[in-house]
Amino acid sequence: MEHQFLSVEEFNSRIQQWSGRTVKITKHEMDDVDQIVLNLQHISYDRNTRRIDDYVPMHSLQLVGDGHIETLASMSTQPLPSPNYEIPLQDSTMYEFDGEKFFITTERGVYKIELT
């Protein structure tokens, strides 16, 4: 399958099929790279209308499940602080799929989601 851009609806339809599977999320944000391995139980979206500033996103993708964070800079592994991994979304967010991996590109960074 070739690389393609997706609408948020197409992205949601495809990512929902990964519920119940183990995924690896690689977050590239500024000079920080983290990897999260998550037993994905379900996917939801959140809307925050009580934002104080632009750092708190209005919309976010909620990947729910047990997992751990691998911080590549310090080569350490820690459990997720909660069974919920949040990816901030904006109106300008781009969703891509290359047949094996999803890429979510925001103003803050790039998130790659793949099956393990």
Model confidence over 40-68: pLDDT tens digits? Answer: 999 999 876 554 555 545 689 999 999 99
DSSP string, 41-68: EEEEEEE----SSTTS-SEEEEEEEEEE
Range 4-115 classified under CATH 3.40.1350: no
The secondary structure element, H or E, covering residue 12 is helix 8-16
- Taking residues 82-86, report their average pLDDT: 91
pTM greater than 0.75: yes
DSSP β-bridge partners for residue 95: 6, 104
Q: What secondary structure letter does DSSP report for 20?
A: T
Q: Where are the domains of the chain?
A: 4-115
